[in-house]
Amino acid sequence: MTKQTIYWPPERQDSGVREAAAAIAAGGVVAFPTETVYGLGGDARSGEAVARIFAAKGRPSDNPLIVHLADAAEADALASSIGPLERRLMAAFWPGPLTLVLPVRPGAVSERVTAGLDTVAVRVPAHALAQRLIAAAGCPIAAPSANRSGRPSPTLARHVLEDLDGRIDGVLDGGPTGVGLESTVVRVVDGVIHVLRPGGVTAEQLQEAAGADVPVVSGGGPTGERHSSPEAEDAEAPRSPGVKYTHYAPKGVMTLVAADDPGRLRAAVQAQADAARQSGGRVGILACDEHAGAYRADAVLALGPRDEPRQAAQALYAALRECDERGLDYIVAESFPERGIGAALMNRMAKAAGGRIVRA
């Protein structure tokens, strides 16, 4: 499946958008920046284009894609009904990093996009280049993150090329993405907002926009913290097919260390790193800026200040890729507080660790 992948640099955005839109209109697949991560886009109505997206990524076909629109008004063409609470969320967060799972209007998009489900995931990205591309292509754009399946999502055009050069038609370089983690995926059922995947829009922001009387239900936090009232939990709660797959896995074995007390956290991280070193491999540590200087390891990667999880969110995926580049066999990562975007950050770190979480 080798093909010439065109690179459109930041200084050639106008012709880049034109050519990328033409490629998508012709059934091709093109990577583009959004405010969260780079996406790999194709015409959501075309089964062939969508099949190319799955093939380029090596993605299991039972994991549905998010459809990207230039404007919220276009959602009515894709969804068979949109309730008042969903409209409130659209008004509050679009354009922005919120994905809504809505009942699909039959025939509106290829069945490959929805993986045969009766729902479709929709969002309006808050990125000028993404909006111009979607508008110019003149179609809804199905776009998963532009990484090979199982790799960290790309936050730079370079990451896209690392994974997909020769497998896609082109990549529009818009520089680093802003949020650095994917959108929040929600589904409204019977007046309850279910967070299927935490992301750029926080549970606190959802609660504020929805009003105090609307339950916002998330899974338990990755390190055991709960974000919602247990009575709102539902055995039949909607799920996102994607969450069952291992994601964001670096090549090295990663362990996430959680502790409320910073002193205990530092001691436990160093102990884990020392133990890993005993076994002979190269060991890296992912840490907050404040702690990074004190650790001993083959590599220490600082993610940002401890009380600024937005910076760590932005830095995480590039750091995981760097761990691979540096050939680290073991990675020990500090946990961050699970407030705000910290919940999504910890969700991704726990996945990267494949569930290996140590409580200190």
Characterize 15-39 residue by residue with b for buried, 16 or more Cβ atoms within 10 angstroms of its Cβ, and e for exposed. Answer: ebbebbbebbeeebbbbbbbbbbbb
User: For residues 249 and 297, which CB has a smaller minimum distance to Mg ion in the complex?
Assistant: 249
Q: What CA–CA distance (Å, rounded) separates 118 from 122? A: 13
Select the residue interacting with ligand TXA from 10, 138, 224, 241 (CB under 6 A).
241
Task: Tell whether residue 314 is a contact of Mg ion (CB under 5 A).
Answer: no
Task: Tell whether residue 240 is a contact of ligand TXA (CB under 6 A).
Answer: yes
Residue 357 DSSP one-character state:
E
CB of 68 closer than 8 Å to CB of 146: no
Encoded tokens for 233: 């939990």
Q: Which residue is nearest to ligand TXA (CB)?
A: 242
Encoded tokens for 81: 């009904």
Dihedral over Cα of 111, 112, 118, 124: its sign: negative
Backbone angles phi, psi at 33, to 5 degrees: -80, 145
Residue written as token pair 């884990």:
272
Task: Tell whether residue 205 is a contact of ligand TXA (CB under 6 A).
Answer: no
Select the residue interacting with Mg ion from 5, 36, 46, 145 (CB under 5 A).
145
Tell me which of Mg ion, ligand TXA, none is bound by residue 240, counting a contact when its beta carbon lies within the kind-specific cut-off of 5 to 8 angstroms: ligand TXA
User: For residues 138 and 241, which CB has a smaller minimum distance to ligand TXA in the complex?
Assistant: 241
Tell me which of Mg ion, ligand TXA, none is bound by residue 66, counting a contact when its beta carbon lies within the kind-specific cut-off of 5 to 8 angstroms: ligand TXA
Select the residue interacting with ligand TXA from 185, 216, 286, 332 (CB under 6 A).
185
Query: With CB under 5 A, what is the number of residues at the site for Mg ion?
Result: 1
Residue written as token pair 């998009």:
109
**Interface residues toward Mg ion, by CB under 5 A:** 145
**Interface residues toward ligand TXA, by CB under 6 A:** 34, 36-37, 39, 63-66, 97, 99, 101, 114, 117, 119-121, 125, 143-145, 182-183, 185, 196-197, 240-243
